[in-house]
Structure 1
Amino acid sequence: MEDLNERLDQMEDAIRKPSFRQSSGRANEVNYWIFDYPPERELEVRERIKYMQNKNAKGCEEFELVVFDLYDIIIDYLEKNDFMDACFKFEQKKGLERITKAVSNALKINDDDSYIVQYIKDHTPENAVVFLTGVGKCFPILRSHKILNNLHQAFVRVPVVMFFPGVYNEQELILFGEIKDDNYYRAFKLVK
């Protein structure tokens, strides 16, 4: 991977182009992108995203940058529904795999009317670029291919960039050098 700062600069330049915000990506595919980076550089990526949000909030760009931390959406849902204590107890009693499945079912992650997809749809203005963050923090509750596939079915009006702490080669996502997520993605690598 070339220098992360250079890639972040290229990504920032790319999303500013009016052509990037058109309703379709390459070959008329959905305008979904993945920006991959080394997991150990997570804090640098978060800082750049925060910097871009602050800069965008000043209103000097032609679009609104909307950042959704998927982990925060999940935690907010659990807290709003008073499920946090029950989740802690359930995990202690039944284990990580069972709580992962229970939370996934509560959020309808595998369904077209997923809570996360609906949340993103409801909180995204028309002229926006959406950044999805927190993918690594959500694993294994939320798999990146699930959110992209479900969004793809219901949400195509603005470009979406998923920030992925791992390697993406437009065929599979590799997290922490071991875990492969080799599902089909209708997303393109934003910066090579």
Structure 2
Amino acid sequence: MSDIKERLDKVRALIQEPEFLEGKGLSNEVNIRIFCYEPENEMVVRHFVNQLETDQSLDCHLIVCNLYKTFLSICDDMDITDAIPDMEEADGSAYLLEQLNSAIGNGEFIDKIQYEPHEPGDVLMLTGVGEVFPFMRIHTLLEALQPYFSDVPILVMYPGEFDGRHVKLFNRLTPNDYYRAFNVID
């Protein structure tokens, strides 16, 4: 447990560094970083994020976006939340997933996540990656977010592995290609 806490302390320090905020040292790549952690440390990471959200002493403006809560908000906006359990019971989980994936895509997530104006010192932290699975996949969302957040560092709190080329949710699922991000803390 102390290892995850030490790594999270390094994240807290990193998000305040000018080099991180300005995206320096990334060879002109997009400023997307992934913090990988063991899925069993989810509650420790959630507690850390909750503490960061209320920390008034940070030298950055942290914008936390829980992707599962975003998904639920999109469902509410579409007025489909109450119908989801009945649809799953009547037609099955696979049909429900197919219907939700056809109705809710990256564009809907971007519309909810996007804010203006972006300010120097902003950091967009994406959480809830494991919770929102299988309704959204982080590798496709990150590709879609790049044009909208090219001036803001994005930090993904990821319950799984990222080897610099592939993300592997929960350290179990089939890896998905994604090569534009960087591991934030080894």
TM-score by length of 1: 0.88
Structure 1 stretches of 4+ moved >6 Å: none
Task: Please tell me whether the aligned partners of residues 35 and 155 of structure 2 are also in contact (alpha carbons under 8 angstroms).
Answer: yes
Asked if structure 2 preserves the Cα contact closer than 8 Å seen for 1:145 and 1:181, the reply is: no
Matched, 1:174 2:171: no
Please, which runs of 5 or more residues in structure 2 have no aligned partner?
A: none
1:74 to 55, 59, 71: 71
- Per-residue Cα deviation, 1:95-114 (whole angstroms, up to 9, x for no partner): 222222222222223xxxx1
Give the deviation of 1:121 after TM superposition: 1.4
Counterpart pick for 1:83 among 57, 80, 85: 80
User: Match for residue 190 of structure 1?
Assistant: 184
**1:18 is aligned with what amino acid?**
P
Question: In 1, distance between residues paired with 2:117 and 2:91?
Answer: 37
> Match of 2:46?
46
| TM-score computed with the length of structure 2 as normaliser | 0.90
Alignment-derived partner of residue 140 in structure 2: 146
Q: Which letter maps to 1:103?
A: L
Deviation at 1:24, TM superposition (A): 5.8
- Unaligned 5+ segments in structure 1 are none
C-alpha distance after superposition, 1:83-131 (max 9, x if no partner) = 012222222222222222222222223xxxx111122112674231011
What does 1:1-150 align with in structure 2 at a 5 Å threshold?
Answer: 3-23=3-23, 26-55=26-55, 58=56, 60-109=57-106, 114-122=107-115, 125-127=118-120, 128-150=122-144
Distance between the aligned counterparts of 1:69 and 1:47, measured in 2? 13
User: Could you tell me whether the CA contact under 8 Å between 1:70 and 1:138 is conserved in 2?
Assistant: yes
* RMSD (Å) for aligned C-alpha atoms: 2.0
- Residues in 2 aligned to 1:87 and 1:35: alpha-carbon distance in whole angstroms: 32
Q: How many residues are aligned here?
A: 185
Greater shift in the superposed pair: 33-42 or 152-161: 152-161
| Residues 167 and 174 in structure 1, CA contact (< 8 A), matched pair in contact too | yes
Residue identity in the other structure for 1:177: N
Q: Does 1:160 align with 2:145?
A: no
